[in-house]
Amino acid sequence: MTPASTERNTPDLFVTPARAEPRSRIVAGLHRTEELAAGIALAAMFLLPMAEVLLRRLGTTGIPGSIPFVQHLTLWVAFLGASLAARQRRLLALATGALIPEGPAKSVASLLTDTVAAAVSALLCVGAVQLVHGEYAAGTEIALGLRAWMAQLVLPLAFGLIAVRLAWQASPRWWGRLFALAGAAMGAWWAYAPAGLVTPLTWPLLGAVLIAAMLGAPIFTVLGGAAALLFLAEQIPPAAVLIETYGLGTDPTLPAIPLFTLAGFLLAEGRASERLLRMFRAWFGWLPGGTAIVCTLLSAFFTVFTGGSGVTILALGGLLLPALLKDGYKERFSLGLLTGAGSLGLLLPPALPLILFGIVAELPIEDLFIGGILPGLLVIGLVVVWGVYEGMHLRRPTPGFALREALASLWSGKWELLLPLVVLVSLFGGYATLVESAALAALFAFVTQTFINRDISIRRDFRRVFTDCVVTIGGVLIILGVAVGFTNYLVDAQVPARLIEWTQARVDSRAVFLLGLNLFLLVVGCLMDIFSATFVVVPLILPLGHLFGVDPVHLGIIFIANLELGYLTPPVGLNLFLASYRFKRPLMEIAVASLPMLAIRGVGVLLVTYVPWFTLGLLEYLGRR
């Protein structure tokens, strides 16, 4: 998976150099309106939970309809963000597409993948129209007179825009764009195609969608296209996919993901990384391998709030690599450390993968937060030990510990250090729900970075930060939205039950099951992002874990730890491509440099898998097991 499915310089929708300036201004105005609508929806998501907390502390009943409004605002943020991501060519895709060299082959692959993606988007747009029509007839009310169909209008709007934008970006030539638009029209027509045509062509079309994904089509087209085609083969309209999408979008805990992401973006936009780097250096830089320790801890801290490797490697790589090289660390070690450290922290609360696993597995998210603490610290500790080992072989003196600088740096970074504490105290202290804690985190980051540290200007930076955040959210949540529809088909087809039967017939040992699970999840982590994998894979492995007596919280930590490791696995691990892009080094050079980190993280995965105490020890101590 890559944050930008393709990085070609293609024009925005309906904008070409030959067009007159007034039309360009109209399109620019429409783009600003789209960004403003998404930003307002995210801001409302942020303000409503905070108002609820305040009013509750004052002893009032709160805002009528606040919770369902926030849930439906999540739907708008997700799909307006996905539409913006399509406009900016930042829809998430498999990293395998980046292996295609520039030239004619790349152009042909782009035309084919965008045509398939536009066709799937158009098919899902038709399904969304069917959903809105059915909900309009049902007349379901959300709150205060607002009807559900009004909130669902964002689905056909977003999928329609995505289809047209992908078709327009398929080629710089008109014939290529017309070809892609014809593919989109064919995708929309397929929703009404006769059964005698749909059934025999289902598997060839699925094969075409899969090939397009390997060539670089957005991930959501694979999951959404597969779900829609398989449902149509059963004479079920594509609205079945969007029903599940709407159900996920209104999940009561899902709004925590955009809000924690916003907090992470606010931190990354300001100078928080510089303050934290100074603080970690002052407290740990005097140790052997001090700079490596600092880079490890700083990367883990940021990944907890940004939710994945991308922002950490891209935001901190330019700051940390020069620091390591300046202190005498070998370039290969430095590249490997930063590539692997980009996914550290995903096991620590309130990391987004823990929240998602809790949603899918229907587990208390607080239990997953607690269960992830020791495994997360274990993996970080193993990386720190590696850094110390490398540091001991440096022939350069380390600076001494300066108490005055340590205290000054601690004071400088106090607000960033307080952020995790604010979240955990508000959540575990019973002062706020998970969504309200996420809103509190976003508020805390906003106030500290804008008014206290003054790193972010409301006039200069805020629109850009909100837009970037919404685009990232949209790129992830559109995958989750269609993945849950694909999962629903798998359940209807009794795939989990058949998988249990197959496993029972061939595996009779818990240890063998866990080893097989490790290998399977390693492959999944190479090919899928952790968010979509959660919705597709977790429903399949949960009953298997129950069959072999694996605690579901332990299973969740195993799942996330394995997918962290998959990010580093050659040849298509996500972190390898991100680091290659950020550090401007060949992919194979990054892959070789990351092998020691791959081995170290592999040891951590095995310890987490086969020593359940790391996950369950704190839960047992706190009486939650």
Residue 468 lies in a domain: no
- 341: exposed, middle or buried (Cβ count in 10 Å: 0-12, 13-18, 19+): buried
Looking at the fold, whether 180 and 51 belong to one and the same domain comes out as yes
Looking at the fold, whether 41 and 103 belong to one and the same domain comes out as yes
Q: Which tokens in the block code for residue 64?
A: 């009528």
Share of residues in the chain with pLDDT > 70 (%): 95
Is 577:587 a contact under the CB 8 Å cutoff? Answer: yes
Looking at the fold, whether 232 and 304 belong to one and the same domain comes out as no
- CA 512 – CA 548 distance, rounded (Å): 10
Looking at the fold, whether 287 and 368 belong to one and the same domain comes out as yes
Looking at the fold, whether 108 and 239 belong to one and the same domain comes out as yes
**Lowest mean pLDDT: which of 184-193, 394-403, 407-416?**
394-403
Is 521:601 a contact under the CB 8 Å cutoff? Answer: no
Looking at the fold, whether 409 and 283 belong to one and the same domain comes out as yes
At 491, the pLDDT band (50, 70, 90 cuts) reads confident
Q: Which tokens in the block code for residue 29?
A: 């105005």
Residue 470 lies in a domain: no
Q: Which tokens in the block code for residue 16?
A: 């070409």
Residue 14 lies in a domain: no
Check residue 100 and report its DSSP letter: S
- CA 50 – CA 593 distance, rounded (Å): 45
Q: Which tokens in the block code for residue 236?
A: 């079920």
The closest alpha carbon to 33, from 463, 476, 478, 477, belongs to 463
pLDDT on residue 57:
77
Please report, in angstroms and rounded to a whole number, the separation of the first and last CA atoms in the chain: 36
Give the residue from 218, 249, 280 where a domain finishes.
Answer: 249
Looking at the fold, whether 84 and 150 belong to one and the same domain comes out as yes
More confident of the two residues 567 and 589: 589
> What does the pLDDT look like over 137-185, one tens digit per residue?
998 888 888 899 999 999 999 999 999 999 999 999 999 999 999 999 9
Residue 108 lies in a domain: yes
Domain that holds residue 504: 475-621
> What does the pLDDT look like over 591-616, one tens digit per residue?
899 999 999 999 999 999 999 999 99
Looking at the fold, whether 524 and 617 belong to one and the same domain comes out as yes
HSE toward the beta carbon, residue 303, CA cutoff 13 A: 29
Mean pLDDT, residues 195-216: 91
- CA 511 – CA 517 distance, rounded (Å): 10
Give the residue from 249, 281, 309 where a domain finishes.
Answer: 249
- CA 423 – CA 287 distance, rounded (Å): 30
pTM of the model: 0.85
The closest alpha carbon to 368, from 376, 360, 378, 358, belongs to 358
Residue 18 lies in a domain: no
Residue 126 lies in a domain: yes
Which region holds residue 328: left if phi is over 0, alpha if psi is between -120 and 50, else beta?
left
- 333: exposed, middle or buried (Cβ count in 10 Å: 0-12, 13-18, 19+): buried
Is 540:499 a contact under the CB 8 Å cutoff? Answer: yes
Residue 11 lies in a domain: no
Task: Write the CA distances from 341 to 92, 166, 345, 407, 574, integer angstroms.
Answer: 21, 34, 8, 26, 13
Looking at the fold, whether 322 and 207 belong to one and the same domain comes out as no
Looking at the fold, whether 203 and 289 belong to one and the same domain comes out as no
Looking at the fold, whether 98 and 234 belong to one and the same domain comes out as yes
Q: How many domains does the chain have?
A: 3
Please report where in the chains the tokens 């959501």 appear, as a residue: 220
Whats the size of the chain, residue-wise?
625
**Lowest mean pLDDT: which of 7-11, 273-277, 483-487, 562-566?**
7-11
> What does the pLDDT look like over 340-389, one tens digit per residue?
888 888 899 988 899 989 998 999 999 999 999 999 999 999 999 999 99
Looking at the fold, whether 493 and 428 belong to one and the same domain comes out as no
Residue 335 lies in a domain: yes
Give the residue from 209, 232, 249 where a domain finishes.
Answer: 249
